[in-house]
Structure 1
Amino acid sequence: MSQDRPAAINFFKGHPSFRLLPGKEVALAAEELLTPTRRDFDDDTKNRHPLTYGSDEGALWVRQVICDFNNDETFRFATTDKARSKPEFLNLNSGASYGVLSILLESTLAHTGYTRQAFVITPTYFLINDCFIDAGFSNKITAIDELGGGEIDLEGLEIKLSELEEEHKGEDDSTDLQLISNPLKPYHKKIYRYVLYCIPTYANPSGETYTLETRQKLIEIARKYDMLILADDVYDMLNYDQPLNRLAQPPKRLVHLDRETNNDPESFGNTISNATFSKLIAPGLRFGYHESVTQKLAYQLSQGGANTSGGTPSQMNSMIVGTMLKNKSAHKVLNNLRAVYRERSSALYDAVKTYLPEGTHMEPLHGGYFAWVTLPQGYNAKVIGEELQKQYSVVLANGSNFEVIGDTRNWGQRSVRLSISFLEAEEIVKGVKLWGCVCKAFAKRNDLNF
């Protein structure tokens, strides 16, 4: 991995430029939160003092503020829309990466085979493999292809699910659940037979956004096969097409669509939104949340052993973010990020079209951090990237980093991921221009069109 390798220009880094980090706004929110000797919620067991152990699910007032933000200011649901969230549907956590692992540990059981298989959309976020391996899914991960145009290979997914169902037909593995059942607790965990990981909006690394039809069909398949869809909803509010004078309105999340069409109040649902404020405010806050269809799965996640031991893991930071949502400073931070990233995304697209070989493929960025660039046939993206780094100290994220372990697609041969979050527009243009110089030299040596 080259994310932290010293470089003059690093397209691998997937976090905001330091100048975009809202130190002043965070400091003011922390002062507003911590300066009073007492707050009216300090002794409330559902909220608690910001510097003490939090409640298991996280502060109720913060969960309410997040719901208000999502329901009314971003997704803008009608008051009668069943997609609207409630505080009890949320479990606060320490960010999306920890969120994924806690979901896998608390709702799947790969080690015994009760959860039979994990599916990961490819190309995928380059560190997600570790979470699945940590949760026992080594050699149990199947890649499902993005098809472009907001579609994924749903047919291939269902074929594989059908094969697995036939393979395990008649098995009785219900005793496996006793391994994770605490006899002192009055409830039993919901463990899913299958799990699928995806980033439905402005995906990392491809930038793809799934269509409504794709989302609905995926939910239907999940219900049919007792599969949990683990959706990383981390980029969807970073839209660059909508006006900047108000917050962007993202497409409905999978959890919203699942809730709208789920009429069973006792259901755990088949989707979970794994959301974070790392991309919307600052990653160092390490604060995010799970949102489930009803309160049942969110509550289950809040009752994990590590969580109940110390309460919600980001008590103070969650309240800092809650304060920023209440005083609207978070809105200003988010819209500033959108404005800067919009400029950078345009600079990147124009530079790719200007300096890279004819036939290079890149879709315009509509949101998120990343562009997926594929060089023409005959070019070797990995070799070119190594030469680019050696000659000019420009680092690209080669496509080989975004494979699903054990089910690869050779993404590194021609594709790379470029991030717009860390580099300024002029650095982006300079880096792509230098990349083009190396591509041109490679073309000349290998008798390719440029």
Structure 2
Amino acid sequence: MPLQFAERLNKVETSAIRELFKLLGKPGIISFAGGFPDPAMFDVEGLKEASGNVLNEEPGPALQYGATEGYQPLRDQLSTFMATKGSTVAPHELIVTTGSQQALDLIGKTMISPGDKVIVEGPTFLATIQCFRLYGAELISAPIDAHGVKTDELETLIAQHKPKFVYLIPTFGNPSGAMLSLERRKKVLELAVKYDTLIVEDDPYGDLYFDAPPPPSLLALTDTVPGSRDLLAHCGTLSKVLSPGLRIGWLIAQPALLANAVMCKQFSDAHTSTFAQATASQYLKCGRMPSTLVHVRQVYAERAKAMGDALKRELGDAVAFERPRGGLFFWVRLTGAKGGIKDAGELARRAIEKGVAFVPGAPFYAENPDLATLRLSFATADVAKIEEGIARLGQALNS
């Protein structure tokens, strides 16, 4: 007899990105598909020093079971780290999670009942779509532009659907690269208070700006909108700026939400690796993070410029895009100019044959997908590979 799996699995399917990776074993392929940071950016020496200090100074606690809420020295360091970004967060106001992905999963577990409505951006982070659907959410897309979610239309959707919560990536969104303007950030918090609606702010890319820093996070701005702090949950991570292998993320939220998230985390993994937490704590304590961020920003800014220039040169008016001001992605739309195709899925197949890979945009939409869109990541390719890869993409478009 075949196994009878849970009905909830019928609501999700394997990630299109993961499926695409199966095609990337071809020798010489240039991939713009992944959303990974470049391993060359990892501060290996700093992490060696931090892990060595852990084993020299605190081996017992670091190698032992730990509190579900997180390793206290790391919670202290994260409180200080958030302060450098304009957010006053006491250590007890955050819990450490196994990457920010777990923080989002815990929000899904604690907040979503089958049939609940959740508003997300269109497009948004694919794994979040899958996670929230797994818990039975009905997802509603709020339109965005280069300045983030359109708040007038968001208000209409909130008033109409009365969602359990609204999920946003305000700063250099994945996949859009969009940055929510300061005016719209304040409006989002005002909507939270007006409609008594929880806002979930996912902020994995906020530290990866190229020139001027982005506006303050929604969390930092809650001080300016009375009543909004308890209606905001903030997810952060060290994955994009330090190392995804550490699996260090955090969730900041009101006490009741945190308490339920801790309870659910106890059931899933008991606690995030204490050794990884202690290593991250030592790294933040030693003061290397600021110089690491400066280096990472410089490298990614150079690569983003190279990709934008190459897209203009090689594809011209066959594509439309906004140059990102930070993050890891270009969000591109095929225009169909000069008889070119407007199906990114078809272009992806042609591109693989030319030795370059990207992710079609359709899976990033919870509803009404735009088949002409695609996501390109510049994070893991150097300038020479970016220029060659975009040239191959141009060949694929014209083949």
Per-residue deviation, 1:147: 2.9
Please, which of 210, 232, 238 is the counterpart of residue 271 of structure 1?
A: 232
> Cα distance 1:310–1:100, how it changes in 2: closer, same or farther (>3 A)?
closer
The residue number in structure 2 matching 1:144 is: 142
**Is residue 268–residue 297 contact of structure 1 (8 Å, CA) maintained in 2?**
no
* Mapping for residues 45-444 of structure 1, pairs under 5 Å: 49-72=61-84, 75=85, 77=86, 83-106=87-110, 108-111=111-114, 113=115, 116-137=116-137, 140-148=138-146, 150-164=147-161, 194-242=164-212, 249-262=213-226, 269-292=230-253, 294-302=254-262, 304-307=263-266, 311-358=270-317, 360-377=319-336, 379-380=341-342, 381-390=344-353, 392-404=354-366, 407-409=367-369, 411-412=370-371, 414-441=372-399
What's the secondary structure of 2:142's corresponding residue?
A: strand
State the AA in 1 paired with 2:217: R
The residue number in structure 2 matching 1:5 is: 23
**Is residue 93–residue 314 contact of structure 1 (8 Å, CA) maintained in 2?**
no
Q: Percent identity?
A: 26
> Cα distance 1:164–1:310, how it changes in 2: closer, same or farther (>3 A)?
closer
**Is residue 33–residue 359 contact of structure 2 (8 Å, CA) maintained in 1?**
yes
What's the secondary structure of 2:209's corresponding residue?
A: coil
State the AA in 2 paired with 1:385: A
- After superposition, give the CA deviation of every residue in 1:10-36 in whole Å (9 maximum; x if it has no partner): 111111233333333222211111123
Per-residue deviation, 1:250: 4.2
Structure 1 gaps, min length 5: 43-48, 78-82, 166-192, 243-248, 442-450
Per-residue deviation, 1:262: 3.2
**Is residue 350–residue 397 contact of structure 2 (8 Å, CA) maintained in 1?**
no
How many residues align? The count is 374
Q: What CA distance in whole angstroms lies between the structure 2 residues aligned with 1:435 and 1:300?
A: 47
Per-residue deviation, 1:439: 2.0
What's the secondary structure of 2:317's corresponding residue?
A: coil
- After superposition, give the CA deviation of every residue in 1:235-266 in whole Å (9 maximum; x if it has no partner): 00001114xxxxxx442111222244335xxx
**Is residue 4–residue 13 contact of structure 1 (8 Å, CA) maintained in 2?**
no
**Is residue 67–residue 86 contact of structure 1 (8 Å, CA) maintained in 2?**
yes
What's the secondary structure of 1:14's corresponding residue?
A: coil
TM normalised by structure 2 equals: 0.87
What's the secondary structure of 1:119's corresponding residue?
A: strand
State the AA in 1 paired with 2:113: A
Q: What CA distance in whole angstroms lies between the structure 2 residues aligned with 1:429 and 1:250?
A: 27
Q: What CA distance in whole angstroms lies between the structure 1 residues aligned with 2:37 and 2:268?
A: 33
Q: What CA distance in whole angstroms lies between the structure 2 residues aligned with 1:357 and 1:320?
A: 47
State the AA in 2 paired with 1:399: G
What's the secondary structure of 2:193's corresponding residue?
A: helix
TM normalised by structure 1 equals: 0.77
The residue number in structure 2 matching 1:446 is: none
What's the secondary structure of 1:127's corresponding residue?
A: helix
Per-residue deviation, 1:295: 4.4
State the AA in 1 paired with 2:96: L
Per-residue deviation, 1:363: 1.6
What's the secondary structure of 1:201's corresponding residue?
A: coil
Q: What CA distance in whole angstroms lies between the structure 2 residues aligned with 1:32 and 1:364?
A: 41
- After superposition, give the CA deviation of every residue in 1:252-303 in whole Å (9 maximum; x if it has no partner): 111222244335xxx87111111100001011111110122x545334422x
1:29 aligned to 2:50? Answer: yes
Per-residue deviation, 1:389: 0.8
State the AA in 2 paired with 1:145: P
The structure with the larger Rg is: 1
**Is residue 165–residue 200 contact of structure 2 (8 Å, CA) maintained in 1?**
yes
State the AA in 2 paired with 1:326: K
State the AA in 1 paired with 2:368: T
CA RMSD, aligned part only? 2.2
**Is residue 179–residue 214 contact of structure 2 (8 Å, CA) maintained in 1?**
no
What's the secondary structure of 2:126's corresponding residue?
A: coil
Structure 2 gaps, min length 5: 1-15
1:14 aligned to 2:11? Answer: no
Per-residue deviation, 1:3: 3.7
**Is residue 351–residue 396 contact of structure 2 (8 Å, CA) maintained in 1?**
yes
State the AA in 2 paired with 1:306: K
The residue number in structure 1 matching 2:13 is: none
